[in-house]
């Protein structure tokens, strides 16, 4: 009932009377009063005016199931939300939930992650209260060979969500990093469990630096946060999550029509920070330099070298700017 009351308070411009809430949910005034007090204890600022009712004036920066469900506008993305104050890894938990029968679209969210992992097994440190650590679990009926493109779909969704909420120029560094002013503020890790021709589940882990005020010296040149890149402004993390789910649902349904990025390449290329820039492809088998010309419908990066056009697949390949991270 707490989620429903929170949603009703959010969706009403003025005040909602206690009696209206009683009638809506079939409970007593005392029960409503208890929920309102619980919300206040969690940091929600709620005006209580006699003969008028309740009006929410400010929400705390929390990512609880109640908070996220009360502002969710999607059809299926986030239909089930599982929240943790602290967890080893949202990807690991999402895989467990998939095996337990949770539906496609289940979202795992944590305020702190202690065993997060990026590409190539890199550890992902994540202190409390600073970031978004979430994993969206999917059970798509697609060819497993086409699954890796979902990483790019997620990057597109996160970039657009950050722009919507913050107004910052969030761009994509191929294939799956989000950068603002040349600093990485988000990484995405997609993992799959599949048979030869059938996908059991896919988990898309997303880590966003939101309120980080500083980074270790060894990564400070490339790492950034929304707080730092916005001049100290703070944004509600739940709003960024909600917008990410909205955009992902939209782009994912477009992707499913063809099982490739043919209808999304223009959108992706418009946000590609590497576009028309000199890049260095760090492939253990074939390191080379060239100009990035966008992506193919399969999500490969098109790189024109002095001798030929090459298509670069993601995986264990990294792309850097000639003079730095981007």
pLDDT, tens digit only, all 326 positions of the chain? 899 999 999 998 899 999 999 999 999 989 999 999 999 999 999 999 988 999 999 999 999 999 999 999 999 999 999 999 999 999 999 999 999 999 999 999 999 988 755 544 455 556 789 999 999 999 999 999 999 999 999 999 999 999 999 999 999 999 999 999 999 999 999 999 998 889 999 999 999 999 999 888 888 889 999 999 999 999 999 999 999 999 999 999 999 999 999 999 999 999 999 999 999 998 877 788 999 999 999 999 999 999 999 999 876 667 887 667 76
pLDDT at 116: 58
CB atoms within 10 A of CB 247: 22
**What's the CATH number of domain 2-58, 3.40.50.720, 3.30.470.20, 3.40.50.2020, 1.10.10.10?**
1.10.10.10
pLDDT at 123: 57
pLDDT at 325: 74
SS3 of 193-230: EECCCCEEEEEEEEEEECCCCCCCCCCCCCECCHHHHC
d(CA 226, CA 130): 10
Ranges of each domain in the chain: 2-58, 65-270, 275-321
pLDDT at 126: 62
CATH class label, 65-270: alpha beta
DSSP string, 89-103: -HHHHHHHHHHTTPP
d(CA 255, CA 233): 34
DSSP string, 85-144: EEES-HHHHHHHHHHTTPPTT-EEEEEEEEEEE-GGG-EEEE-TTTEEEEEEEE---S-G
For residue 264, give Cα distances in angstroms to 75, 172, 178: 21, 14, 17
pLDDT at 119: 45
pLDDT at 219: 87
What b/e readout covers 276-315, taking b as 16+ CB neighbours within 10 angstroms? eeebbbebeeeebebbbbbbbebbbbbbeeeeeebebebe
Q: For residue range 126-140, what is the model confidence (pLDDT) as tens digits? A: 678 999 999 999 999
Contact 172, 187 (CB under 8 A): no
pLDDT at 117: 54
CATH topology agreement for domains 65-270 and 275-321: no
CATH number corresponding to 275-321: 2.30.30.100
């Amino acid at each position: 009932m707490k989620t429903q009351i929170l949603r009703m308070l959010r969706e009403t411009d003025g005040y909602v009377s206690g009696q209206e809430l009683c009638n809506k949910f079939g409970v007593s005034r005392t029960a409503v009063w208890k929920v309102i007090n619980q919300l206040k204890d969690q940091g929600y600022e709620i005006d209580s005016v006699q003969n008028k009712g309740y009006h929410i004036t400010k929400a705390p920066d929390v990512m609880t199931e109640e908070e996220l469900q009360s502002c969710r506008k999607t059809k299926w993305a986030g239909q089930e939300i599982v929240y943790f104050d602290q967890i080893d890894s949202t990807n690991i938990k999402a895989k467990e939930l998939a095996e337990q029968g949770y539906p496609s679209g289940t979202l795992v969210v944590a305020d702190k992650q202690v065993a997060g992992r990026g590409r190539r097994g890199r550890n992902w440190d994540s202190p409390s209260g600073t970031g978004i650590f979430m994993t969206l679990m999917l059970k798509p009926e697609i060819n497993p060979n086409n699954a890796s493109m979902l990483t790019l779909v997620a990057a597109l969704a996160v970039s657009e969500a950050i722009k919507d909420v913050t107004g910052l120029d969030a761009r994509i560094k191929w294939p799956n990093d989000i950068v603002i002013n040349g600093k990485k503020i988000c990484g995405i890790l997609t993992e799959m469990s599949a048979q030869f021709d059938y996908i059991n589940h896919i988990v898309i882990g997303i880590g966003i630096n939101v309120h980080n005020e500083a980074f270790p010296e060894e990564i400070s040149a490339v790492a950034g946060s929304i707080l730092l890149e916005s001049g100290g402004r703070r944004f509600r993390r739940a709003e960024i999550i909600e917008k990410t789910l909205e955009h992902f649902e939209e782009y994912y349904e477009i992707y499913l029509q063809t099982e490739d990025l043919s209808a999304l390449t223009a959108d992706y290329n418009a946000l590609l920070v590497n576009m028309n820039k000199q890049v260095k492809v760090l492939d253990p088998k074939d390191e080379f330099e060239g100009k990035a010309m966008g992506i193919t419908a399969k999500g490969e990066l098109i790189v024109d070298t002095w001798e030929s056009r090459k298509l670069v697949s993601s995986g264990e390949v990294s792309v850097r700017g000639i003079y730095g991270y981007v």
